[in-house]
Amino acid sequence: MIQLDDSSFEQEVLQAEGLVVIDFGATWCGPCKKLDPIMEELSGVYEGKAKVRKVDVGVARQVAQKYRVLSVPQVLFFKDGNVVEQITGLVPRAKLVESFDKHLA
């Protein structure tokens, strides 16, 4: 999964058309490590339909601050550059699939 930082976020997410899903996490976060393989898998499942990217809040501090990411993991769904959904915490794969499908419909 492609990792974004403060400098690449605007082009990869805000200027992108369609659905972009951002997994905000941190290397020290246990639940983030459990979410990583799920997001990696969904990145493959939705390839060509949605872009799935990762942001380490310790690296991309400006982006994390701008979107008020105070708890990780946090998944933000962007459609045409705008946040359309936010999921905080470790959630089941089915919940993420439901959100992907809802925003791709």
Domain ranges of the chain: 2-104
Report the DSSP beta bridge partners of residue 27: none
Q: How many CB atoms lie within 10 A of CB 2?
A: 10
- Non-local CB neighbours of 30 within 8 Å, separated by 6+ positions: none
Homologous superfamily of the 2-104 domain (CATH)? Glutaredoxin (3.40.30.10)
Q: Is position 32 annotated as part of the catalytic site?
A: yes
pTM of the entire structure?
Answer: 0.95
Mean pLDDT along residues 65-77: 97
What pLDDT, in 10s, does the model give residues 5-54?
A: 999 999 999 999 999 999 999 999 999 999 999 999 999 999 999 999 99
Q: Which of 13, 26, 29, 35 is catalytic?
A: 29
Give Cα separations from 28 to 32, 43, 47, 72, 97 (angstroms): 8, 22, 28, 10, 26
Catalytic residue, from 32, 57, 60, 75: name it. 32
Does the annotation mark 26 as catalytic? no
